[in-house]
Structure 1
Amino acid sequence: MADGDTSGGPPAFEDAFGGDDVEQRVYGTILQTRNPTAANEIAEGADCDPKTARKYLRWFTELGIVTRHDGRPVTYERNDTYFEWRRIDRLATDHSVDALQQRVRELTARIDAYEDVYDASTPAAVDAVAAAEASDDRTIDDVYSDLGDWKTAREERRRHERARQQRSGAGTGRVSG
């Protein structure tokens, strides 16, 4: 895309939040951080004043979206636990208990198939190189792809099961409608 192109496409990754308001830019910047980061660096990434960034970071900390680490300087990082909870809550809100149970069954069948193929209980227990060498039809890339899919299926099953329990009120103390 040439400079000045106004086709309405997405902004360049370097300026992914350029059109958003300051709150969204700070939020977007914190989502992209992988390590505790100082407010000044977050402000730079969000293209705003550090004082403004600190204001939003305090608010995001109160909401549980961000974790604050005291020190010199104070740093902030994305609270992955919050986002995990949010994903599970969204599943519980958007799907019935029956739909969640069905998805758990589907994922369990997929996981069981991988356990049978690789004769292991987890993807971490598989030596990918040895599995590829022992196979007539799987390359190392196929094995790594399987292991990634297997790991994802296990994580997804755990989320769907937690959402099912939340939706049904099992063990949460919550009554769902």
Structure 2
Amino acid sequence: MSNSESPGGPPPFDDAFRGDDVEQRIYGTILQTREPTTASAIAKRAECDPKTARKYLGWFTDLGIVTRHEGHPATYERNNAYFEWRRINQLASEHSVEDLQQRVQELTARISGYEERYDASTPAAVDAVAVTDASDDQTIDEVYSDLGEWATAREERQRYERARQQRADTDGEQVSG
């Protein structure tokens, strides 16, 4: 064991799925893939036979986890919409309507603070260089950090609102059903 590894800790990032079965290695590889990739390239990274990779990629495609792009050869990529849907379902199942609504309100307040601070409706509308040139108390890194947190808060608010709507619909069906 190297000095950087701890007993019982997670495996090094390079070999994050080495101890897992082939299905988990392919799944882990597709999670880390950010662009359409051939089954052969995925198989190489997952250390398995390309035929085995195609089998599991077909299954993941059927489940909606992976998107298959036709071509010669076909390529595969992670379906971000699936993971977004899964996260929203998780939020809706783990939190009450009231908790979700409270989180939406908290995020809305945070977003409003950024809108006021930067006099803009979105992070993309902010010229970070101009802000730092006009300010003696903010560095470019601080502005970029704010813009990243603002964008994240906007995405998170949307997720929580969708989960709140889903939970409210589900709770409403249970009451009336």
Is TM more than 0.5 here? yes
Matched with 2:107 is 107
Q: CA deviation at 1:134?
A: 1.3
Which has a greater percent of helix?
2
Structure 1, unaligned runs of 5 or more: none
User: What RMSD in Å do the two structures reach over aligned CA positions?
Assistant: 1.7
Matched with 1:159 is 159
Write out per-residue CA displacement over residues 64-94 of structure 1, whole angstroms, 9 at most, x where no aligned residue: 0000111100111000000011111111011
Q: Distance in 2 between matches of 1:48 and 1:98?
A: 47
1:61 aligns to 2:61 (yes or no) = yes
Matched with 1:123 is 123
Matched with 1:71 is 71
Q: CA deviation at 1:26?
A: 0.3
Write out per-residue CA displacement over residues 5-40 of structure 1, whole angstroms, 9 at most, x where no aligned residue: 672332222211000011100000001111111101
Q: CA deviation at 1:132?
A: 1.2
Report percent identity of matched pairs: 71
In the TM superposition, 1:1-177 aligns within 5 A as 2=2, 7-169=7-169, 175=173
Q: CA deviation at 1:176?
A: 5.7
**How many residues were matched structurally?**
173
Q: Distance in 1 between matches of 2:174 and 2:87?
A: 17
* Residue identity opposite 1:103 in structure 2: R
Q: Distance in 2 between matches of 1:10 and 1:135?
A: 43
TM-score (norm 2): 0.92
